Chain A
Amino acid sequence: MKKKTVRCHDVLGHICEELDTKLTSARCRALKRHLEKCPNCTAYLDSLRKTITLYASSPNPRIPGKARKELFAVLKLEHRHTGRKAASHTKSR
């Protein structure tokens, strides 16, 4: 059976979809063969992966204590730290 060949344009068009999938389908195997010999597409794929990693790994700030107090006050729930009913000074929303 003749192997499907792909070109850079095909790779760049589909590379995003295949980023997080196992390269098992016929198209994916063809993409993988292309990637093994094409430094451009490999560099492009690597840069897309790094883009995702940068966003996924950038740290989050903590939930501000003030925001938590306000929420619990609005909902009239017990504040988790004080164990008392939250104060009634709610922010006007």
Chain B
Amino acid sequence: MSDEELIKRAKKGDERAFTQLVKKYESLVYSFAFKMCRDEDKASETWQDTFVNVFRKLHQFDGRSKFTTWLYSIVTNSCKMKRRQRKLDQASVSIEMPADNQDDPDHDHPVQTIPSWRDTPLDSVMDKELRTLLDDAIQKLPYDYRVVFVLRDVEGMSAVETGKILKLSVPAVKSRLRRARVFLREQLNPYMTT
């Protein structure tokens, strides 16, 4: 059954149709929530809150955007609410410094001063030290940058879709993404070059 049909039926109170929607998108929502929180308990709470909100607000979904776009906006709002409740932003750092100015404008020679990163095993063989480093680095990244990075680079959303989800202009999405990437790269650099 198509999303359109499931949503139509769920809006009319068809529990089976809503259950099918939950089943279809539960992994997507949990994966996104975990990538944002990097914590299983917080991801579970965000996952639950998201589907409770979907259940309550489904009648507001008018079909003008993709269902996944609407769903991601519910998850990001649930994440934000959780963070406000826990005042978690205190743990992150400011990345407002102009990343462009970190580079020497006169530097224009081919002598390599930026060390190459070593190849690192991914997935199941990723070592504990690297996992911890990845978790710490993304936790330090302020929420507004983290959500753009996860939507664009991890979830593979376009800049336009990301802008719709977060109610941001495309230039703002690009700017936050650039800063987020540079920040995370800097955090991983010592580990990846030694």
Interface residues of A (CB under 8 A from B): 7-9, 12-13, 16-17, 19, 37-41, 43-44, 46-48, 50-61, 63-64, 66-68, 70-72, 74-78, 80, 93
Contacts and interface: CB of A to CB of B under 8 A. Distances in A.
Contacts, number: 137
A77 B115 contact: no
A60 B153 contact: no
Given A71-B51, A77-B15, A44 B114 contact: yes
Query: Of residues A43, A53, A58, which shows the largest number of chain B Cβ atoms within 10 Å of its Cβ?
Result: A58
Contacts of A16: 174, 177-178, 181-182
A12 to B, nearest CB: 5
| Top 9 closest pairs, chain A to chain B, by CB | A16-B178, A67-B44, A39-B112, A7-B108, A43-B114, A57-B122, A9-B105, A40-B114, A47-B117
B67 interface: no
A33 B18 CA distance: 53
A51 B154 contact: no
A58 B131 contact: yes
A7 to B, nearest CB: 4
16 contacts: A41-B114, A43-B116, A44-B114, A47-B192, A48-B185, A52-B181, A55-B153, A55-B184, A57-B122, A59-B123, A59-B126, A60-B31, A61-B43, A67-B47, A71-B48, A71-B52
A43 B188 contact: no
A28 B27 CA distance: 37
B26 interface: yes
A47 B154 contact: no
Interface string B29-43: 011001100001001
Given A67-B48, A75-B51, A8 B108 contact: yes
